[in-house]
Structure 1
Amino acid sequence: MSIPFNVVAKINPQKKTQPKKYYATAHSSGEVTIRKMAKQIAEITTVSMPDVIATLESLVMIIPRHIEEGAIVRLGELGSLRISLSSEGCDTEEEVNASKIKKAKYIFTPGSELQETLKVLKYSKVKKAASPAPEQV
């Protein structure tokens, strides 16, 4: 299988007068639900689908507790989660305090097995749909 991609024209925001350049962007073929993945996990393990869902939901409840303590959450070969902060810049170290923090976000770092899959991906360009013919009056 190959990863489908679209072609998108973009303007360079720093050089708006230059012509657009074309870039490949990943094309989504849809979504997969946690329920579907739980069913697939149940098919290849001895764990039932409701148990898989309960375990994953519990993980979602537990991860924020450890993040709030400042921990990096390691998820085995899946990867790890950590927090990244965006803050206002200050002239001195003393000026920096919690009120200067503007945003926090999760950073996911894939594990080595997931990273390896990126090295062997194949790609295929998505064909554009034909434009509809103009209506005859």
Structure 2
Amino acid sequence: MAIKYKVLPRKNPRDIAAPEKFYAAAIADGDVDLDRLAELISYQCTVTATDCYAVLHSLEHNIIGELEQGRIVKLGRLGNFQVGISSEGKDTATEVTTTNIVKSRILFRPGKRLRSMLNGLTFKKAG
């Protein structure tokens, strides 16, 4: 199986007058939800799909709760989740307040096995 990609033109944000360049962009080939993951997991063990779904749903709920507390959520070999923020820059440290925070996001740092999966990928142009 190969990761599909398409070619997209993009302007240089630092030089709008510069000619566009073309870049490869990965395109998704469907998606998988918690129900499907629960079903797949249930085929690989003795736990029912319903039980797997309940565990995955609880995992999601608890990850959210722990991230809201500012904790790093470590999921072993899978990887780590953490909240990251972006803020406006100020001239002095005392000028920085919560009003300067402009964006928050969830950071995911994959474990070794997930990272190494990237080394073995093949690619195929879509269309």
Aligned to 1:126: 126
Give the AA of the match of 1:28. Answer: A
Aligned to 2:32: 32
Q: Rg: which structure is higher?
A: 1
Counterpart CA distance in 1 for 2:95 and 2:17 is 41
Change (3 A) 1:56 1:7: same
Q: Deviations over 1:29-80 (max 9, x none)?
A: 1112221111110000111111111111111211122223221100111111
TM-score by length of 2: 0.90
1:65-80 map, 5 Å = 65-80=65-80
Partner of 1:57, secondary structure, is: helix
Counterpart CA distance in 1 for 2:90 and 2:10 is 34
Give the deviation of 1:114 after TM superposition: 0.4
Count how many residue pairs are aligned between Structure 1 and Structure 2: 127
Identity value in percent:
37
Give the AA of the match of 1:10. Answer: R
Aligned to 2:23: 23
Aligned to 1:14: 14
TM-score by length of 1: 0.84
Aligned to 1:41: 41
Give the deviation of 1:19 after TM superposition: 2.4
Counterpart CA distance in 2 for 1:96 and 1:113 is 39
Give the deviation of 1:99 after TM superposition: 3.0
Counterpart CA distance in 2 for 1:110 and 1:13 is 29
Counterpart CA distance in 2 for 1:103 and 1:44 is 40
Structure 1's consecutive aligned runs of 4 or more residues displaced over 6 angstroms after TM superposition are none
Is 2:117 the counterpart of 1:100? no
Counterpart CA distance in 1 for 2:8 and 2:71 is 39
Partner of 2:23, secondary structure, is: strand
Partner of 2:39, secondary structure, is: helix
Counterpart CA distance in 2 for 1:33 and 1:69 is 26
Counterpart CA distance in 2 for 1:22 and 1:61 is 40
Q: Note the aligned Cα RMSD (angstroms).
A: 1.5
Change (3 A) 1:17 1:96: closer
